[in-house]
Amino acid sequence: MSDPRTPLPLPEVRMQPVQSLPSTPHRTALLDAAGWRAAGIAAFAKLHPRAMLGSPVMAVVLAGTLLAAVLTASGHAPFGFGIAVTAILFVTVLFANFAEAVAEARGRGQAASLRSARRDLMARRIVGANEERVAASALKPGDQVIVSAGEWIPSDGEIESGFATINESAVTGESAPVLREAGTDRSGVIGGTKVLTDEIVVRITSEPGHSFLDRMIALVEGASRQKTPNEIALTILLAAMTLTFLVVVVTLPALASFVDASIEPLLLIALLVCLIPTTIGGLLPAIGIAGMNRALSANVLAKSGKAVEVAGDIDTLLLDKTGTITHGDRQATQFHPVSGVTREQLRDAALLASLADVTPEGKSIVALARSLGAGAVEAEHANFVGFSANTRMSGVDLPGGRVLRKGAVDAIERNVAALGGSVPAELRARVDQVARGGATPLVVADGHNVLGVVALSDVVKHGIRERFARLRAMGIRTVMITGDNPLTAAAIAAEAGVDDFMAEARPEDKLARIRAEQQGGRLVAMVGDGTNDAPALAQADIGLAMNSGTQAAKEAGNMVDLDSDPAKLLEVVEIGKQQLITRGALTTFSLANDVSKYFAILPALFAAAIPQMAALDVMRLSSPRNAVLAALIFNALIIPALIPLALRGVRFTPRSAVSLLRRNMLIYGLGGVLLPFVAIKLIDLLLAAGFGV
């Protein structure tokens, strides 16, 4: 080594605590007392015609309510019976509005907790060599502010210099502080969070009123919620069914005249309400809103309801190895010199080549070398080369033409060859030895001479293999993406239980793989946190960006994980599946329970004129009018009874589509037929006991 005179300080290695796999969120009460009151008031406000037109099914029920009221008031219907039918139909509409209002109230409750993090803050903006105090609302993108320990970050931004521990509990609910550092993929900060230690310079990236918290509040309140494609298709189907049954009911009196039967207009209205799918029509908006709320309860911000639903249809899941499948805490554990090189020579060269590597791996090499006896390093006029995802190397150019490089095996091999050197045959054996042990090998070279291998060890997350098995049971194929060599990648992939892997992958390789999967007709999801992940996040059908990542990554993805746990994507898929299953289950139940209501209404319509129709009265209801009232009461009560299920979702277990369909038909199909028979009969008995009209 040369005899340089300027000391080079060894950077301190700062490690972030390892995050565990996400746990199932605790279930809490739907709403507090204030929330219930607000939902009740909103149910009446939604009676406005413009609001009702958003749900064609319930708009028809409201029209039927008004018509029943007119018939009763004009004397064209028995007064007592008419009042009862009108009241029940009105309550049915209110319950449907109430279901949507409850879902929105839950969102507003979550928004209120987020608003508590948004406060009137002052910022220390840098102006030239000085600083000035301005309101946070006056900050614009590009402004730089200083934030010290104990101060609040005034707006969203990227750390330009420094590092700090930050309390993000107001946004994520996680009490443990997190480390944010300039020049890394964990440089993004959120306005309204508090700096606990050190001092940072933040470059503002958001316009006033368009911060991350502002967008979250708008989303959870439902103001920006767009209907998903499946929801739109189901709305169209329900509208078509409603129109069809409306035509049937309107033409029914003409058909009845052929058998000398007359049907009271009030009974026709009751028949129409029981024919159309009012249950799913009333619950559909609540199901859509609840999907985004369930994602947020798992600390995942979905930018649209579509993102939540698409997650349930994912075919291929691309996951980075580091931080997702493994703990992401790769540490240098051993130096393996080649023949003719001492361990001390390899140690010192690896230390110098890693001084400009700000990644945790580079810092761990410096720490290991120091722990093994490396002293203070001095160099004069040294040119440090930082680690790059494109070159996959770092190093230093020392005076006298000495070039030290440390990096991935293939990158160092190409660099050595470019300098006119050759790779010793022994190196491949060393690399394979490290890789087969599940560690990542990095090669160190001094000019065109290879010095040896550094082993980086990581640990596969506990329980990750079982999670991949759950995804496989749902028909989802998992692909691990890593920059490691094929042997290391294969060892980790086998231990984790993924279906496929990509080794020595560059950022552009991720994008190419996503496009290839999509061209094959598959929906793809992936996670990322760096600026170089942004193109792939934008291309993927589901792009889950880490909250701790760069602003570019968060803008490119359609979901943001507030916990910054890449393994959360596995939970997002299950939330999407639950959203689809919940809508399917309640649609099945709604259509099935209409069958039972037919047997209550039809005999009441035709029993007098056609005695043979009495055979349809399988429930043996007490009277035609009580039959109508019992069916309408059940039709109204079933909507609020299903609100908790719509909001919390049907319990999801990984299984095939055929198995899920069979379960749906057995529980919600058969149950949807049998429950109304029992409930309507019980209501009829109560009516016959003295409450009938």
Annotated binding-site positions for ATP = 357, 361, 387-394, 406
Burial class (CB in 10 A: 0-12, 13-18, 19+), 220: buried
The answer to whether the CB of 600 falls within 8 A of the CB of 628 is yes
Task: Report CA Rg, the chain.
Answer: 33
Q: Which two tokens stand for residue 499?
A: 């279906």
Classify residue 359 by its DSSP letter.
Answer: S
Residues 6+ apart with CB under 8 A from 454: 332, 334, 335, 336, 346, 350, 365, 406, 441, 442, 443, 444
Residue 320 appears among annotated catalytic residues: yes
The answer to whether the CB of 574 falls within 8 A of the CB of 317 is no
Q: Give strand ranges (E) for 547-593.
A: 559-561
Q: Which two tokens stand for residue 278?
A: 């009012």
First CA to last CA across the chain, in angstroms?
104
Name the active-site residue from 143, 185, 214, 320: 320
- Rounded distance between C-alpha atoms, residue 170 and residue 123, angstroms: 19
What is the arrangement of strands in the sheet containing 300-302, beginning at the earlier edge strand? 300-302, 559-561, 542-546, 524-528, 316-320, 477-481, 500-502
Distances (CA, A) of 106 to 150, 227, 294, 509, 684: 32, 18, 10, 42, 35
- The alpha-helical segments, DSSP class H, found in 193-277 are 212-220, 229-256, 265-275
Strands 300-302 and 559-561: antiparallel
Q: Which two tokens stand for residue 555?
A: 């803008």
Classify residue 152 by its DSSP letter.
Answer: B
What is the distance of C-alpha 40 from the center of its chain? Answer: 29
Q: Which of 511, 498, 470 is nearest to 653 (CA)?
A: 470
The answer to whether the CB of 160 falls within 8 A of the CB of 202 is yes
DSSP line for 539-557: HSSEEEEETTS-HHHHHHS
Burial class (CB in 10 A: 0-12, 13-18, 19+), 123: buried
Identify residue 313 by its one-letter amino acid code: D
**Residue 546 phi, psi (nearest 5):** -85, 135
- The alpha-helical segments, DSSP class H, found in 298-395 are 305-311, 343-354, 360-371
Catalytic residue numbers, as ranges = 320
